[in-house]
Amino acid sequence: MKQKLIIAGLAACLATGITSTFSGCAGDAHNRSTGESIDDRATTSRVKSALSDDTQYKYPDVKVTTFKGTVQLSGFVDTREQKTKAAELAKHVNGVKDIANNITVKP
């Protein structure tokens, strides 16, 4: 009888541990799943590449971050046209769902 209780207790501990481990991988409104995190890093990389490949501007002072497919552009550019162009370039990158253009035009 004592052995059955020990085995049952171990099984319950293992089941709880497994459930906790897997629930740590799931995303919600405020946290990314592992897959979303990987996708966001790839999207950020593609957007940075698109900005640096632009023949007119290179955007050295623009920072790119991505959360669940929403790309946030921040930093500084010299003109309003550069700010608009950066958002246009980012919008056409694979994996981008939305753009938050928080770039500041230098005075």
Domain ranges of the chain: 29-105
- How far apart, in whole angstroms, are the C-alpha atoms of residue 62 and residue 77? 7
Indicate whether 107 pLDDT > 70. yes
Find out whether 100 and 71 touch, Cβ atoms under 8 Å.
yes
Could you tell me which CATH class the domain 29-105 is placed in?
Answer: alpha beta
Confidence of residue 5 (pLDDT cuts 50, 70, 90): very low
Please write the tens of the pLDDT for every residue from 18-74. Answer: 444 444 566 676 788 889 999 999 999 999 999 999 999 989 999 999 999 999 999
Q: Which helix (H) or strand (E) holds 64?
A: strand 62-67
**pLDDT, greater one: 84 or 27:** 84
Helix (H) or strand (E) holding 102: strand 98-105
Would you place residue 7 in the very low, low, confident or very high pLDDT band (cuts 50, 70, 90)?
A: low
pLDDT at 68: 95
